[in-house]
Structure 1
């Protein structure tokens, strides 16, 4: 499932091709995604793309008429292709531009979304989201104060989009390892000093993943078709049974919140 770095890489990949371009057509071949595609997306036709923005794992194609909201779901991909490039299975939506390019949305599982936001409004899905992790709004004071009295385990805590957006499973595992925090520990029992370290590692890990082009596991490739390379940098995720790169202890895997979680029993307390 694409996480925040993969979505940001997609944003960076498509922006140069569609920014300041006029939308000539929106073709919806299958409007039954996670939610039905609203008819309002046709308001894009004739509009100039002012920019491509992101909030959490949602992408926005911004125009004066409003914004198309895209979410990649479990298996969604965005590609910028020439208009005459042949369709492949699960190519559900095309946004065509006056420069002959097409932004093509492919989603085998159809868990993604293509929605609409009126100008100067906030879609209901976005109203209760926490701060962006790579902004000054997200810091150790925020994380520490939000954690007080919380009995939920820290891994689930930092993956809660009401606390901070975009810290998905891969990056939660990696950040907790770097901070030396056991993912099973209650969030409210962790010290301010540990949260200082954790906040810094969340920011560093996400920023490095974006720089490397995301993490390719099963589904993700960049908008140009190239894979992300951050998977080569993973320290614990997917390495259960292998030696810890810091202490040589054997890494373990457990289920936390129905997600695979990886940790070092020696390094993380």
Structure 2
């Protein structure tokens, strides 16, 4: 599943092609995505795109009339293509621009979403209860200590809880906990402030590095130009269960936590 860095890389890739462009058409070939695609052509066609933002894993395409909320789901992707590019099997939506280009949404599993929201969009049910962005100042040790106080849930599950902090999915939660030396099953409320400060720093650093390197190479992730991300070569624990720890050489352990693969080093991340 595309995580925050992949969505941010997509945003950066499509933004120059969308901002200040007039929308002259919208083609919905298959409205049956995670939620039915609403009839939004009459709202968005004729509008000028003012900005392209990201909130958590949602992309927000802003016009004066309202905001299109896009989620990539498990396998979705957005590409900028010439208008005449033939549509393939899973190309469900085209947003046609006055420049002669289209923003094409491809989603083989159809778990993604295209929704419409009148301003203010942050009141939308999908966005209104989200936690802070991990790369902004609001995500800091003071905030995290307060959010985790008294919680017995595993620290990794809290780190992946969008009500606590958005966008730290499975890959980056594994990596950040390893870098901070925290066992993923540790009760969140028992992690001391010193260790939480390290964790906050590592989350920010790892996500920033992933964005700079174009996201993580997943089976079906490509950026707006169709190129794969390259952060996978930097992963220390995710996907490496049973292999040697890059820090101490001990064999990495792998368990299921919240139904997600969780890899850690029992020596570098003592419980």
* Alignment TM class, shorter chain as reference: over 0.9
Q: Cα deviation per residue 1:1-27 (whole Å; 9 max; x = unaligned)?
A: 000000000000001111111000011
Alignment of 1:53-202 (within 5 A): 53-121=53-121, 122-202=123-203
Aligned residues of 1:41 and 1:115 also touching (Cα < 8 A): no
Q: What secondary structure is seen at the aligned counterpart in 1 of 2:26?
A: strand
How far the C-alpha of 1:241 sits from its partner, in A, is 1.2
C-alpha distance in structure 2 between counterparts of 1:126 and 1:41, whole Å: 23
Task: Tell me the equivalent position of 1:208.
Answer: 209
Q: What secondary structure is seen at the aligned counterpart in 1 of 2:40?
A: helix
C-alpha distance in structure 2 between counterparts of 1:57 and 1:136, whole Å: 18
- Work out whether 1:265 is the aligned partner of 2:266: yes
How far the C-alpha of 1:41 sits from its partner, in A, is 4.7
C-alpha distance in structure 2 between counterparts of 1:128 and 1:254, whole Å: 30
Q: Cα deviation per residue 1:69-91 (whole Å; 9 max; x = unaligned)?
A: 00000000000000011111110
Q: What secondary structure is seen at the aligned counterpart in 2 of 1:43?
A: helix
TM value normalised by structure 1: 0.99
Query: Any stretches of 5+ residues in structure 2 without a counterpart?
Result: none
C-alpha distance in structure 2 between counterparts of 1:158 and 1:30, whole Å: 35
Q: Cα deviation per residue 1:139-198 (whole Å; 9 max; x = unaligned)?
A: 011111111110100000110000000000000000000000000111011111110000
C-alpha distance in structure 2 between counterparts of 1:243 and 1:178, whole Å: 15
C-alpha distance in structure 2 between counterparts of 1:24 and 1:154, whole Å: 47
Q: Cα deviation per residue 1:176-227 (whole Å; 9 max; x = unaligned)?
A: 0000000011101111111000000000000000000000121101110111
How far the C-alpha of 1:120 sits from its partner, in A, is 2.4
C-alpha distance in structure 1 between counterparts of 2:99 and 2:185, whole Å: 52
Task: Tell me the equivalent position of 1:220.
Answer: 221
Of 114-123 and 135-144, deviating more is 114-123
Task: Tell me the equivalent position of 1:36.
Answer: 36
Count matched residues.
269
C-alpha distance in structure 2 between counterparts of 1:148 and 1:2, whole Å: 30
C-alpha distance in structure 1 between counterparts of 2:218 and 2:251, whole Å: 22
Q: Cα deviation per residue 1:105-162 (whole Å; 9 max; x = unaligned)?
A: 0000000000011022421111100000000000011111111110100000110000
Query: Any stretches of 5+ residues in structure 1 without a counterpart?
Result: none
Task: Tell me the equivalent position of 1:51.
Answer: 51
Tell me how large the CA RMSD over aligned residues is. 0.8
